[in-house]
């Protein structure tokens, strides 16, 4: 799936609107997701699963699940196969091996975000977080905790189905001179996530609307590299009068 991180102004062009509709259709098909118990809130989520999400989990004991191959068989080398009830995604395309240097411009930030999204979605589909961690400072705590929980789920023998995310910029790039950081209002695009635990329990989170999906990403720029430093929820943004 092609990652997106575009300004709202850019989204208004006909060609980009076509690309977004293709993206949204693809999001309903792509493998992966987000969360294992206990579940940390990911950007755009709340731990209480607000109006835009429905969370459910099996309450009766289930047999231990043996992780096999998605599609019921080992996929040929190079053939991507999304996760399903049989097992995790196979042959997920690798993201870039390490962060790249980009200019201190909105265009440069968008390139970094495309790389980060691919690395994050790769981690959610495989449990391998080595590619996504270098993009995030320690202050980007909530998402780091969330990704750690996904990594733990895979190590325990579980996996995730659907739930990978794309991100759309909702404002121009702004600079906070006091904090020496940049920020962009951002919307998270996703469908649902099904988390398969090795004890047989399953947890599902569903995005039923756009509430709680707009938030502020904050960034730092150092030595030619962009870093994710923090995000602020829509509740915080409303209190500050930044969004309605």
Pairwise CA distance, residues 121 & 92, whole Å: 10
Q: Is 13 exposed, middle or buried (0-12, 13-18, 19+ CB in 10 A)?
A: exposed
**For the chain, how far is it from start to end, CA to CA, in angstroms?**
31
Please give the Cα distance from 5 to 7 (Å, whole number).
7
* Predicted local distance difference test score (pLDDT) of residue 210: 56
Quote the percentage of the chain above a pLDDT of 90: 59
Distance (Å) of CA 193 to CA 81, 117, 220: 17, 16, 30
The CA distances from residue 212 to 48, 156, 191, in Å, are: 11, 30, 14
The DSSP symbol for 192 reads E
pLDDT at residue 76 above 60? yes
pLDDT tens digits, residue range 152-198? 999 999 999 998 999 999 999 999 999 999 999 999 898 899 999 99
Tell me how far apart the alpha carbons of residues 237 and 145 are, in angstroms, rounded to a whole number: 22
Average pLDDT of the chain to the nearest whole number: 79
Q: What is the pLDDT of residues 85-143, one digit of tens each?
A: 999 999 999 999 999 999 999 999 999 999 999 999 999 999 999 999 999 999 999 99
Task: List the structure tokens of 18.
Answer: 């076509």
How much is the pTM? 0.77
pLDDT of 63 higher than 90: no
Asked if residue 18 lies in contact with residue 180, where contact means CB atoms within 8 angstroms, the answer is no
Give the containing element (helix H, strand E) for 175.
Answer: strand 174-176
Assess whether pLDDT exceeds 50 at residue 12.
no
Spatial distance between the Cα atoms of 227 and 170, rounded to a whole number of angstroms: 19
Q: What is the pLDDT of residue 163?
A: 82
Q: Report the alpha-carbon distance of residue 34 to residue 54 in Å, rounded.
A: 13
What does DSSP say about strands 202-207 and 181-189: parallel, antiparallel, or unpaired?
A: unpaired
pLDDT in tens, 202-226: 999 888 765 557 889 999 999 999 9
Q: Residue 131 in 3-state DSSP?
A: coil
Provide, rounded to the nearest whole percent, the portion of the chain with pLDDT above 70.
72
């Amino acid at each position: 799936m092609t990652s997106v991180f575009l300004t709202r102004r850019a989204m208004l062009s006909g060609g980009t609107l076509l690309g977004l509709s293709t993206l949204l259709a693809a999001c309903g098909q792509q493998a992966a997701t987000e969360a294992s118990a206990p579940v940390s809130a990911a950007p755009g989520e709340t731990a209480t699963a607000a109006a835009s999400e429905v969370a459910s989990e099996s309450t009766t004991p289930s047999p231990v699940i043996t992780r096999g191959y998605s599609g019921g068989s080992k996929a040929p080398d190079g053939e991507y196969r999304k996760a399903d009830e049989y097992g995790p995604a196979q042959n997920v395309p690798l993201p870039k091996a390490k962060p790249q240097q980009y200019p201190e411009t909105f265009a440069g930030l968008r390139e970094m975000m495309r790389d980060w999204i691919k690395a994050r979605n790769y981690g959610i589909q495989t449990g391998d977080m080595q590619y996504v961690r270098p993009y995030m400072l320690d202050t980007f705590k909530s998402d780091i905790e969330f990704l750690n929980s996904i990594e733990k789920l895979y190590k325990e023998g579980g996996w995730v189905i659907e739930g990978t995310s794309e991100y759309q910029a909702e404002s121009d790039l702004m600079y906070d001179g006091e904090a020496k950081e940049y920020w962009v209002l951002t919307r998270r695009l996703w469908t649902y996530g099904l988390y398969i635990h090795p004890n047989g329990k399953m947890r599902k989170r569903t995005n039923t609307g756009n509430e709680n999906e707009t938030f502020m990403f904050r960034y730092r720029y150092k030595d030619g590299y962009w870093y994710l430093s923090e995000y602020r929820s829509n509740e915080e943004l409303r209190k500050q009068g930044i969004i309605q």
